[in-house]
């Protein structure tokens, strides 16, 4: 115990039933989010690209505030005021058929599901760009969605009571969701390399 991180590495594998993080209804209808008063820490404070348990306090504070105010998820901004990520998800926007997301320059964890969605978008031939994303970009997007291991692919339908696009799951979001679901359940041969089968 202590703050000197000199601990032997051990492995534990746990398995238990897990509902979709933002719910099945959220995956279909989209979720309502709010911009958090908590700012995402930046890489000069601790490495934002590391998945480390102590860093989740930032997310816990943000999502607790969002739930207290009647929203389903929080959106954290980085220290410069650009969008960072959700409490446990990366953010993607769709505008005029193009997909946008940010990268490690904006204090995000480079998620595995983020990488999967980038690959799916590329395979679909969608135009894709990685850059800073402003709150104004999000509010004027045609579609927006979160990606994350626990969340999978979840549409964002509102930000602080302002509808994104039509306020529903958009067609590009749905197409990516459908392919992601097929890929992660072994029903799309293009992505079999993503899976490690375990036999009883």
Task: Tell me what percent of the chain is helix, strand and coil, each rounded to the nearest 5.
Answer: 30, 20, 45
Tell me which residue has tokens 């549409």.
Answer: 155
Distance of CA 165 to the CA centre of its chain: 19
For 14, phi then psi, to 5°, come to -115, 145
The token duo for 150 is 């626990």
Annotated active-site residue 51? The verdict is yes
Considering 27, 40, 51, 119, which one is annotated as catalytic? 51
Of residues 185, 187, 125, the one with CA closest to residue 152: 185
As annotated, the active-site residues are 51
């Amino acid at each position: 115990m202590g703050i000197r991180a000199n601990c032997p590495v051990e492995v534990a594998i746990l398995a238990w039933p897990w509902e979709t993080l933002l719910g099945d209804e959220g995956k279909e209808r989209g979720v309502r989010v709010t911009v958090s008063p908590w700012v995402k820490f930046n890489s000069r404070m601790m490495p934002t690209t590391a998945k480390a348990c102590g860093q989740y306090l930032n997310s816990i504070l943000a999502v607790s505030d969002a739930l207290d105010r009647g929203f389903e998820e929080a959106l954290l901004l980085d220290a410069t005021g650009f969008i960072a990520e959700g409490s446990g998800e990366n953010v993607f926007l769709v505008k005029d058929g193009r997909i946008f997301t940010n990268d490690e320059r904006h204090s995000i964890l480079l998620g595995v599901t983020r990488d999967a969605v980038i690959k799916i978008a590329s395979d679909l031939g969608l135009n894709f760009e990685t850059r800073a994303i402003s709150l104004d970009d999000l509010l004027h997007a045609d579609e927006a969605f979160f990606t994350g291991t626990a969340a999978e692919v979840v549409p964002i339908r509102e930000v602080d009571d302002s509808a994104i696009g039509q306020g529903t799951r958009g067609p590009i979001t749905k197409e990516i969701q459908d392919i992601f679901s097929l890929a992660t359940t072994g029903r799309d041969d293009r992505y079999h390399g993503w899976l490690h089968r375990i036999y009883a």
